[in-house]
Chains A and B, each alone.
Chain A
């Protein structure tokens, strides 16, 4: 009797687990499935693609030409049309066509590069500033340290929504507006600020776990304080440092509000979130390609996360409570 009840309980539990898995994985399963289909098959029923293809990925990465380019005889027809024109005009015409094409292709790689650049650079700057700041918090004693620490904590609670208007006004006044490059400078600065408090707390918590005696030994051996940071603290906390970098990188990789404010007029400078969103709302809303692009946007982050999972989940909980 008791055993029967236990088995029933167990089965019930596994059903619950299964429901949870479906709840979590459902959209991901469709995303993957659609990414392996031709655009024309995007609405075939059933989650297993009937005619699986890697074409979408190939096109996004620029490895295969789009179907339209391949099927149509555009190239030959065009050459036919312009063969009577003088050579300079021919050249100008071809250049214009190429430019036109470039505009029409799905600029996934460009968005990807832009995202990589912005998130990468700003996470790096934030990390460097945070290493010094966290060391100051966790090791050096001075008046006012507590106040500074708590203020950093509090400012983390101010969301981007409240800062959007004043930051826009400030950067316009500073002249960091009006070109893509200037917009990028503004964005890097903003991303650094957005990631700095998290970086500081995660690193500070980690630095406190390093035994002070190791540093003392280095100081006795003639290291200055600054040298101990580079020769002792940084090497010993490498996993934490990489974790913080990835964490800050993820924040930049995801950012949408500020990039949509500052980079809106410069499509060349779009990052993945704004670029894909704009494409989706334009003529390029093709499900197969959108899903393949989504998978490729997610992949770097998921891979980084999996490699660093042990540290990252720890950082999430530690950083989360202390933020």
Chain B
């Protein structure tokens, strides 16, 4: 009797402590993430004033109509989709090949492995300047190299030219983020049991067959999850794109320009953000069901 009372008070105590310790987190996340997401939807129905004295004016769906009939929006939207798709596929392919390479023993592996993390961990602003330098027209070493091979015209400014900027930021994103993919795939690769490969070898499987029927299925889930994470992050990606080239024309850049540059139209920006958000949620739902089969 006394025993059970004691246990239950202990349990209550524990429960209370549990809540007390997590409350700060809940408050912060509710106030600064959940509430803003909802507030954003609210703002998207208003002509948002930027001077504190003037109230917002309700405009109904006008912002949405403006956005959806704006051809710039659709161009940005399709660029964002293409950017996301290309960077996800690209970083996974590079990450997969590199993980397979690093899963082998070779001279200098430790050093190469350490180097591979550099693109991912180096502060963005530092490598952005390095990239801008090597891509400089005429004098940039990479442009010099490419023009000697005859791939590009030495005078071309790839970064500040809206036609090419998209490709530069796409390649840059793949270069910067493949180490993340490689790390995740490698850690899964290392946990695949050797006996599977031994059994396949006894059955006379060649390297490709082993890769097809053992490695890939074992990696299915991790690749699926990485694709989801990278997809979400790259869909929203602002800084990596904007700092590399303002001319890349993806949707996050469009939102930033609408909301904070020139004459701010924050209601319109909020409407775009809401569309982005809803689109993202739908894509995630579809993906989780169909690809990850949860």
Contact = CB atoms under 8 A, between A and B. Distances in A.
Question: Do these two chains really belong together in a complex?
Answer: yes
Interface of A: 13-14, 16-17, 20-21, 23-28, 30-31, 34, 43, 45, 47, 129-130, 132-133, 135-137, 140-143, 145, 148, 151-152, 155, 157-170, 172-173, 189-190, 192-193, 196-197, 200, 225-226, 250, 253-257, 260-261, 272-273, 276-277, 280, 287, 290-291, 293-295, 297-298, 301-302, 305-306, 309, 313, 316-317, 320-321, 323
A20 B179 CA distance: 12
Interface of B: 11, 14-15, 17-22, 24-26, 28-29, 32-37, 39-40, 43, 48, 52, 98, 101, 104, 106, 108, 112, 114-119, 121-134, 139, 141-142, 144, 175, 180, 183-184, 187, 222, 225-226, 229, 232-233, 235-239, 242-243, 251-252, 255-256, 259-260, 266, 269-270, 273, 276-277, 280, 284
Contacts of B233: 159
Given A140-B14, A277-B125, A168 B259 contact: yes
Contacts of A159: 232-233, 235-238, 252
Contact of B24 (A129, A253, A287): A129
A43 B137 CA distance: 11
Given A13-B106, A166-B36, A317-B183, A200 B25 contact: yes
A254 B142 contact: no
Contacts of B239: 254-257, 273
13 contacts: A14-B106, A25-B118, A27-B127, A47-B141, A162-B37, A166-B43, A167-B32, A192-B28, A193-B33, A260-B260, A291-B130, A294-B127, A302-B122
A277 B243 contact: yes
B184 A16 contact: no
Query: Which secondary structure dominates where chain B touches chain A?
Result: helix
Nearest to A295: B126
A145 B18 contact: yes
Given A31-B130, A193-B29, A166 B125 contact: no
B39 A166 contact: yes
B125 A30 contact: no
Contacts, number: 259
A161 B276 contact: yes
Contacts of A197: 29
A209 to B, nearest CB: 16
A162 B17 contact: no
Contact of A165 (B35, B43, B139, B242): B43
Contact of A169 (B20, B43, B114, B133): B43
A289 to B, nearest CB: 10
Contact of B236 (A141, A162, A295): A162
A293 B242 CA distance: 20
B126 A162 contact: no
Most buried by A among B15, B19, B22, B266: B22
A137 to B, nearest CB: 7
Contact of A294 (B130, B139, B277): B130
Contacts of B242: 256
B25 A298 contact: no
B29 A294 contact: no
A272 B183 contact: no
Contacts of A169: 39, 43, 48, 266
A316 B183 contact: yes
A243 to B, nearest CB: 13
Contacts of A25: 115, 118
Given A158-B33, A169-B266, A291 B133 contact: yes
